[in-house]
Amino acid sequence: MKTTKILLFSAVALAVGFLTAASVQAVPTTYVYTGNFFNIVIAPYTTSDRVTATVELASPLPANMSLGSVTPLAFSLSDGVQTITNLTAEGSFFTFQTGAAGEITAWVAQAFSNSGLQAIDTLFAPAGNFDDGVLGFDPQIGLISASISGEPGTWSRVAAPDAASTLSLLFLSLTALGLAARHFKRAAA
């Protein structure tokens, strides 16, 4: 009976350790883009609209990455009037370049919907070319368009859980298992 309890305790402790270690290694990372307000618009867009984007990747972008394609786990691009997500897009394209700290320094993020009749994009090339915009065709309105060139918006990375909180969880779990083992030992005596 005592051997069974020790084996059960050991199995639970190992499971908690493995689950906690796995959660530290694979942390999805979300990047958020906030563009500047459009300065060239055709209705229904106004100069109060802009491109915003949320891109979730399986892991953080590495430092000093050359401009290269990535495949998001999920994404959302909005222009203030419409939003295209990974669930509604008929096509998308994402490339990023990073600096020494893994910050995004150049990019292309585009999504298409309605059989390619509407597209939202933001791009900033290493040579300094920049454009945020939307281009499309609405059967009732005709051409729809909005853009801004010149000063790009900014990307930020949403903070992921830190290793300290994960280690704290591991410590608390092992402490609880220790207390449970102590309780079983006292109950057996």
pTM above threshold 0.75: no
- The torsion angles phi and psi of 182, rounded to 5 degrees, stand at -60, -40
Mean pLDDT by 10 residues, the chain (189 residues): 52 50 69 97 94 97 96 97 94 96 96 82 87 85 86 89 53 51 58
- Under 8 Å between Cβ of 50 and 154: no
- Residue extents of the structural domains in the chain: 1-26+161-189, 28-159
Q: Which residues pair with 142 in a beta bridge?
A: 138
